[in-house]
Amino acid sequence: MAFVFLLSAFYRPNFPHKLALRFIAQLGVLIMYNKVIRLPAVKDQTGLSRSSIYLRMSKGEFPQSISLGDRAIGWLEEDINQWLEQCIAKSKK
């Protein structure tokens, strides 16, 4: 949200946008967003089967899903990426 505000504050028809982006980068503004991914994407990213994902979730060895509605769930992409990084770190020890 801060990024959009800062970018809109610099928006002028003839304003050099690269300069605005460089300024924002120098401020160290971190853009955070939560992307939700569904089961097929989780399976593709992890290489795990559906049953392995749910088994590991029940054991607390995999990120928990979040409810998206009555019959829909998903996972935060950031949680899946962190889990993958932990797996990679463990395998390199």
**Residue-wise pLDDT tens digits, 26-75:** 666 555 568 999 999 999 999 999 999 999 999 999 999 999 999 999 99
pLDDT value of residue 39: 97
Residue 19 corresponds to which tokens in the numbers above? 């300069």
Residue 74 corresponds to which tokens in the numbers above? 């998903």
44 Cβ neighbours under 8 A, 6+ residues apart: none
CA quadruple 44, 48, 53, 59: dihedral sign: negative
Sketch the domain layout of the chain as residue ranges: 1-32, 36-91
Terminal-residue alpha carbon distance, the chain: 39
- Is pLDDT at 7 greater than 90 in this prediction? no
